[in-house]
Structures are given as structure tokens and as C-alpha cells.
């Protein structure tokens, strides 16, 4: 297994390390529910150094990024961040990524860990002859996520830079954090306010210690992948390989707001325009369990004897004290209040279509 620069810190803090897509990462420290609640009520610190970072730079960089993604990056300015899927010609998703505009000729793409090599090869392929330089910076970049309502107070103790002025989906580069400089981004994957910090790998252990020390009085605790998943799940933030993949389009995943069909061109435009015109045959919905049972990824969803969908994510939701699921379901069964059943280990358990997101995110706008 690959180790992040913070591997020893996870051991020092009592993290239970597991194999996550080939990375040795903590699933939990004190416990998933405790860590989940800390992020909702105070703050949690996550090691997300397994995530990938790809630089796209040069005279043709802006045009290439515009063509690669479904969202409209031509509206961006330096210091802005944009969330967007990156699609195949079929409309299926290569990955969902964050796009950072540093300058018109300098862009950073933050990609999902398991997709880093695939994304890099895909971007290189599209970059051929476009007057750009594409570099995979993942091995030289560490990343931590400081998340929760107390994140701003903690972040403000770490630097003299006016990070409190950052609003959701903006960033500052080369922020002086005493142990070194880092890119500080007001983004996250928890449904709470917070920051994601990109830094050279060699300063990551010292910065982790500094953040933990600065957050002591605010109730900051280290948090693992288990809580990261339950937090993103409550906020209905998609996870690649679950709500998004090569066979699921952004429209089916409920990400219509990212798909700008009025763009001049982008990979997958024709297929997505056709899908929108013809109407969705299936889409992601939220389900609440009416019977006892834990819905899990891959479980089938039924309307009577007919299989009408599949669970993409399912879990106990600590904030809501309920067992919930996201599922890809045939369009005729997606209305709010529709009663369905989920096959849980050979037994059909009742569930009902409910509004999403389950938890309303609290971002700084």
C-alpha cells in the first residue's frame, strides 16, 4: 500500500489504518460517529493526500480545460474554484473534479485518488497539439481538509493572510503558514464550512501538528475516511464509482447545474444534449428506510416484483438518526413519497423516496 506523508501521524493519533484504493489511510480514530458529530458541531481534520493534482499550463490551457469539462470555465477568474464532471463522448463520467484557476495560462485540477492515473492519461490525450504542458503533481503534493463550523477560527490562527475573507469556492495561493507556503481553498466534501490545504509533502507533518494545536480550544479532532463518507452522504455529495461513473451521466446524477449545454463545445456535449431532449430514463433519488435494515451499495430496488434500480450509497446518517440511501432508479418511480423496497440480504425492506439533500450544507457564501 502507498503511504501519505502523514502516515506516522495516523499511527500516533491511534488511527485504524485500512487499504483504501491502494492507500494506507485511517478509516477512524476515536470512532466514526464521534468524528462525524465533531465536524458538524466543531471541526475535524482529514488527511486527503491520496487525492490527485494535475497542472495544466501554457497558452492553450484555458481552451483545453474549457473543452475537457461540462461546466463553463470561461466564466472563471483567478482565485476561483469550480466543481465539474469531466465526461466521455458517451456522456458518462471520467471523473468529477475541482478546477482551480491560478491565471489564464495556469490551472490546477484536483481529481479523485483512484482516478488519478486514468485522468492524467485522458487529459494528456486531449492535450495533444494544444500548446499546453500537463503535469501530474500528485506525488509532490499533500492535502489536508479542515472542516466544520470552527474551521475559520482555527485557520485564522495559522496565518496572517486574510483567509477569513475567502468565500465558498475561492482560494489563495502561496499562503504563509509558518512551516511553509500552501494553497488554501474554501472547499470541502462534508457539507460544512471549511478549507482544503494543498502543500509540498515535506511540510505536511509539521502543518498537521500546527493545525491540531491551533484547534485544541475549538474541539478539533482528527477524522478518518469513515466520517468523511457519512458526512458527504448526508449532504448528498456524489462519490465516483457510486453516484457517478462511466455509465452514469451528470444529468442522471442530479448534476444538471454543472452541465452548460450553451457552451461552444465540450467532450460529451452531443450525448448530454440528446439525453436532455429525450428525457431521463433513470436518475439518482434519496430513499429513507421504513423497515429496519441498512441499505448498501449495489442492493437492488424493487417496485413490487419488478427491479427498478440499484442503491449507489447507503448508511446510517448520524445527524438525522435515520437509515438512508441514494439510488439510481427508473424515472417512473422517482416521485417524492413513492414507496419502494430494497432487497437487503434476500429480504425486501420498505423505503420511501424523500427530498435531497438529506442535510442542508452550511457553506460560507
Tally of CA atoms within 13 A in the half-sphere of 27 that contains its CB: 6
User: With 90 as the cut, is the pLDDT of residue 270 above it?
Assistant: yes
Asked whether the predicted pLDDT for residue 365 surpasses 90, the reply is: no
pLDDT confidence of residue 213 = 98
Q: Is 0.75 surpassed by the pTM of this model? A: yes
pLDDT for 30 equals 97
- Complete domains list, the chain, with CATH: 2-48+139-234 (3.30.1360.120), 281-365 (2.40.30.110)
Question: What pLDDT digit, counting tens, does each position of 271-321 carry?
Answer: 999 999 999 999 999 999 999 999 999 999 999 999 999 999 999 999 999
- pLDDT score recorded for residue 21: 87
Render pLDDT for 127-143 as a digit per residue (tens, 0 to 9): 999 999 999 999 999 99
Amino acid at each position: 500500500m502507498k503511504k501519505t506523508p502523514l502516515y506516522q501521524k495516523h499511527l500516533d493519533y491511534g488511527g485504524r489504518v485500512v487499504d483504501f484504493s491502494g492507500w494506507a489511510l485511517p478509516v477512524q480514530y476515536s470512532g466514526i460517529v464521534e468524528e462525524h458529530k465533531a465536524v458538524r458541531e466543531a471541526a475535524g481534520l482529514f488527511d486527503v493526500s491520496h487525492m490527485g493534482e494535475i497542472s495544466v499550463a501554457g497558452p492553450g490551457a484555458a481552451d483545453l480545460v474549457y473543452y475537457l469539462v461540462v461546466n463553463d470555465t470561461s466564466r472563471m477568474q483567478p482565485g476561483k474554484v469550480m466543481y465539474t464532471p469531466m465526461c466521455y463522448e458517451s456522456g458518462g463520467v471520467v471523473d468529477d473534479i475541482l478546477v482551480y484557476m491560478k491565471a489564464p495560462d495556469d490551472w490546477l485540477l484536483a481529481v479523485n485518488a483512484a482516478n488519478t492515473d486514468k485522468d492524467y492519461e485522458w487529459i494528456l490525450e486531449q492535450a495533444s497539439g494544444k500548446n499546453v504542458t500537463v503535469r501530474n503533481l500528485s506525488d509532490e503534493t499533500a492535502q489536508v481538509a479542515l472542516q466544520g463550523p470552527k474551521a475559520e477560527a482555527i485557520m485564522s490562527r495559522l496565518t496572517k493572510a486574510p483567509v477569513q475573507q475567502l468565500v465558498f469556492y475561492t482560494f489563495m495561493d502561496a499562503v504563509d503558514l509558518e512551516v511553509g507556503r500552501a494553497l488554501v481553498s474554501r472547499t470541502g466534501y462534508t457539507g460544512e464550512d471549511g478549507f482544503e490545504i494543498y502543500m509540498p509533502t515535506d511540510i505536511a507533518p509539521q502543518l498537521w501538528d500546527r493545525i491540531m494545536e491551533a484547534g485544541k480550544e475549538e474541539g478539533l479532532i482528527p477524522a478518518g475516511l469513515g466520517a468523511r463518507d457519512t458526512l458527504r452522504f448526508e449532504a448528498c455529495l456524489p462519490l465516483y464509482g457510486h453516484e457517478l461513473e462511466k455509465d452514469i451521466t451528470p444529468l442522471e446524477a442530479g448534476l444538471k447545474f454543472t452541465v452548460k449545454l450553451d457552451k461552444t463545445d465540450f467532450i460529451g456535449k452531443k450525448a448530454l444534449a440528446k439525453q436532455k431532449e429525450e428525457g431521463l430514463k433513470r436518475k439518482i433519488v434519496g430513499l429513507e428506510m421504513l423497515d429496519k435494515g441498512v441499505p448498501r451499495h449495489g442492493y437492488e430496488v424493487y417496485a413490487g416484483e419488478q427491479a427498478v434500480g440499484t442503491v449507489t450509497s447507503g448508511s446510517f446518517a448520524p445527524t438525522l438518526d435515520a437509515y438512508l440511501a441514494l439510488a439510481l432508479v427508473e424515472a417512473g418511480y422517482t416521485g417524492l413519497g413513492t414507496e419502494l423496497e430494497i432487497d437487503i440480504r434476500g429480504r425486501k425492506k420498505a423505503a420511501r423516496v424523500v427530498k435531497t439533500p438529506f442535510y442542508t450544507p452550511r457553506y460560507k457564501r
